[in-house]
């Protein structure tokens, strides 16, 4: 298989352009596992962020806790991508979800004895499991579905994840508010265990590949494949700036703004839930609407993500902030479904794990720095200045990305 072989060759040509998702039970089992894990991904950071604030921490401490996950993703994603291309991906998913379940169970038991300074380490350990899981799950999907169903399959996985984001954020806030942090962590542990159980039933016929090169050699092969496609590099760099300037700023300051302007922690969960809810119609749209210029649609839409930090920069009422976060969720998910499907078509199976790992590494490379800089930036520019600067970077980078050949259609200029 050459590097330019697409995902269409991985499935029977008779089904490559039709069929329904319900006709693919292996995919549905993977989907159930991803949906379960998505709940845990939402409950865990919400619970620990509120715990830090309840214990007297501020923006800097919340930023460090959130940065722990980002650091782990940056450090471990490349290894996760190489492993995903060497081992059976179902085994990786089971091990990653089981590991996170155990870590969170132990954290729940020992929480009251742990100093706040240890919490970033815990989020980093959980993030390491996520770093192993992400490349494996995304590179497994095109082996379970025909090419013609990739957008719908990716959209359904995103729908589960965003639906879990709505419920997960509210579950996290509710558990902390009514019962405490420990129940939230116990729920997270249980849903990760459920995710591992679902994947147990996925039959991964892809054999484990013998290591033909060193880890660095395999990473270099993935980098070469990406460098041959400047449009891929441009989009990766743009999303990196979005997370650094937009997401890190908004997610760190949102719980503080919610307490200051909206009356408490419940508003924090409601705003996060609005972002998840806003993504759902975008998922339905992307699963059925397939414009030729998917990249142009995506990058123009992503300029709207600037409203996420900007909505916190002024004393807008809570409904307006919820609307802006919902729009942010909509544009991100519209982009994401088109982007993941484009990568699955553009790269061969032997490179997909590494490509997805490098994609995520590029996206998260500056996120820990962004979280860590929020505190100093607020001291320098104030909260309003920091949030406005973040929104400006998001909007400008989205528009500039469109100048790179290939971005407008998320494909090579020759259309290969």
| Side-chain half-sphere exposure of 134, counting CA atoms within 13 A | 28
204/195 Cα distance (integer angstroms): 16
Closest alpha carbon to 3 in 243, 280, 322, 224: 224
pLDDT tens readout for residues 53-80: 877 777 778 778 877 877 787 778 778 8
Report whether 203 contacts 88 (CB < 8 A).
no
List of the chain residues with pLDDT < 50: 1-17, 415-416
Q: What is the pLDDT of residue 229?
A: 92
Which tens digits make up the pLDDT trace of 359-372? 877 887 787 788 88
Q: Which of these, 354, 333, 28, lies nearest to 203 by C-alpha position?
A: 28
Mean pLDDT, rounded, of the chain: 82
* The pLDDT of residue 360: 78
**pTM attached to this predicted model:** 0.71
Q: How many helices (H) and strands (E) does the chain have?
A: 15, 0
3-state secondary structure labels for all residues of 344-403: HHHCCHHHHHHHHHHHHHHHHCCHHHHHHHHHHHHHHHHHHHHHHHHHHHHHHHHHHHCC
Place of tokens 């408490």: 264
Are the CB atoms for 348 and 222 separated by under 8 Å?
Answer: no
Alpha helices in 175-247 (DSSP H): 181-199, 215-227, 230-241
Instruction: Please tell me the predicted confidence (pLDDT) of residue 375.
Output: 85
pLDDT of amino acid 17: 44
Rounded Cα gap, residues 155 and 134, in angstroms? 16
- In 3D, which of 232, 231, 237 has the Cα closest to residue 393? 237
pLDDT of residue 416: 43
The CA distances from residue 178 to 1, 172, 259, 265, in Å, are: 56, 10, 17, 11
pLDDT at 167: 67
335 vs 181: CA distance, rounded Å: 34
Q: Are 230 and 407 in contact (CB under 8 A)?
A: no
CA distance 35 to 31: 6
Which backbone phi and psi does 83 adopt, to 5 degrees?
A: -65, -40
């Amino acid at each position: 298989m050459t590097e330019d072989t697409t995902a269409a060759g991985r499935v029977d040509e008779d089904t490559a352009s039709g069929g329904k998702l319900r006709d693919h039970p292996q995919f549905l089992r993977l989907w159930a596992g991803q949906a379960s894990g998505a709940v845990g991904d939402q409950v865990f950071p919400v619970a620990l962020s509120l715990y830090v604030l309840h214990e007297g921490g501020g923006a800097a401490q919340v930023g460090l806790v959130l940065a722990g996950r980002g650091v782990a993703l940056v450090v471990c994603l490349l290894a996760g991508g190489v492993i995903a291309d060497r081992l059976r991906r179902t085994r990786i998913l089971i091990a990653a979800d089981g590991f996170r379940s155990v870590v969170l169970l132990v954290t729940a038991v020992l929480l009251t004895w742990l100093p706040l300074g240890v919490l970033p380490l815990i989020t980093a350990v959980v993030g390491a499991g996520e770093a192993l899981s992400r490349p494996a799950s995304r590179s497994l999907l095109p082996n379970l579905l025909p090419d013609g169903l990739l957008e719908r399959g990716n959209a359904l996985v995103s729908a589960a994840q965003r639906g879990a984001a709505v419920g997960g954020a509210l579950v996290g806030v509710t558990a902390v508010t009514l019962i405490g942090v420990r129940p939230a962590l116990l729920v997270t542990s249980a849903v990760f265990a459920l995710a591992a159980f679902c994947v147990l039933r996925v039959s991964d016929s892809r054999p484990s590949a013998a290591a033909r090169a060193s880890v660095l050699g395999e990473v270099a092969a993935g980098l070469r494949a990406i460098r041959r496609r400047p449009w891929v590099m441009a989009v990766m760099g743009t999303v990196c700036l979005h997370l650094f300037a937009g997401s890190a700023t908004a997610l760190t300051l949102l719980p503080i703004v919610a307490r200051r302007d909206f009356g408490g922690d419940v508003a924090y969960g409601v705003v996060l839930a609005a972002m998840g809810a806003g993504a759902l119609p975008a998922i339905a749209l992307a699963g059925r609407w397939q414009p030729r210029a998917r990249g142009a649609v995506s990058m123009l839409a992503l300029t709207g993500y600037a409203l996420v930090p900007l909505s916190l920069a002024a004393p807008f009422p809570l409904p307006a902030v919820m609307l802006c976060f919902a729009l942010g969720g909509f544009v991100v998910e519209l982009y994401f479904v088109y982007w993941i499907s484009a990568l699955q078509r553009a790269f061969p199976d032997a490179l997909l794990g590494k490509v997805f790992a490098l994609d995520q590494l590029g996206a998260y490379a500056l996120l820990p720095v962004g979280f860590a800089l929020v505190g100093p930036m607020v001291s320098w520019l104030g909260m309003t200045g920091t949030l406005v600067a973040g929104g400006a970077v998001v909007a400008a980078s989205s528009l500039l990305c469109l100048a790179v050949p290939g971005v407008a259609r998320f494909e090579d200029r020759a259309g290969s």
